[in-house]
Chain A
Amino acid sequence: EDKVVQSPLSLVVHEGDTVTLNCSYEVTNFRSLLWYKQEKKAPTFLFMLTSSGIEKKSGRLSSILDKKELFSILNITATQTGDSAIYLCAVVMGGAGKSTFGDGTTLTVKP
């Protein structure tokens, strides 16, 4: 059975802190790993990772994939209250692109 596990389930930090969110997976026919941010509405796309060791960056967010150890991390530096959200990790399988989502990490950034 395909499985995506995120940790921690929730995290509370103060503005300016750096956080690391984890995502491990066990799936058949891995194609890519995606990170989403969900605030009060629908998830929005952050990153797609397909190759090990290549860091993706967007401002204060960065992510990296390890296909040998089957995990990815999402780093957020100098956190702001606007970073408070649920961060979802999803793995896309080959073929038609079915995705399996993790349960998410709820990040709360306090002023």
Chain B
Amino acid sequence: DARVTQTPRHKVTEMGQEVTMRCQPILGHNTVFWYRQTMMQGLELLAYFRNRAPLDDSGMPKDRFSAEMPDATLATLKIQPSEPRDSAVYFCASGLIPGQGRGEQYFGPGTRLTVT
């Protein structure tokens, strides 16, 4: 049963610390998305990749957030330095580009980040 995995599931850290979240997309999927979800803002797209190349990261605060795909089995989202307003659930999702698949995204379980 293929699924997207994310680590860690929960992270509590102090303001100013670096946070790295990891995602393993479903094998064979060629698009990867990072989302942030809060009660106030709902689901926000932070960045997405196609065939490991970053296509759009306009949703991320560039000064502190970075997203990479060092290989097809790993996507990372890094926050440095973290701030309390970064507290949220961060979801990774993967899928196939339209035409190769139906376009739906399969979500990981999320990383719940709390920055104190």
Q: Which residues from chain A sit less than 8 Å from chain B, CB to CB?
A: 31-32, 34, 41-45, 48, 88, 90, 92, 94-104
* Interface segment out of the listed B12-20, B63-71, B73-81, B90-98: B90-98
A22 and B50 CA atoms in complex are apart in Å by 30
Of A32, A42, A94, A103, the contact of B107 (CB 8 Å cutoff): A42
Could you list 12 examples of A-B contacts with CB < 8 Å? A31-B98, A41-B109, A42-B108, A43-B107, A45-B104, A45-B106, A48-B102, A48-B103, A96-B97, A97-B95, A98-B56, A100-B45
Interface residue tally for chain B (C-beta within 8 Å): 24
Q: Is the interface of B mostly helix, strand, loop or mixed?
A: strand
Q: A41-B110, A92-B98, A99-B45 are in contact. Are A34 and B103 (CB under 8 A)?
A: yes
A97 touches B109 (CB 8 A): no
Q: What CA separation (Å) do A99 and B42 show in the bound complex?
A: 14
Asked whether A98 lies within 8 Å of B42 as measured between CB atoms, the reply is no
Contacting residues, chain A, for B82 (C-beta < 8 A): none
Closest to B104 in A: A45
Cβ-defined contact, B103 with A97, below 8 A:
yes
**1/0 contact trace for B31-60 toward A, CB 8 Å?**
101010000001101001010000110000
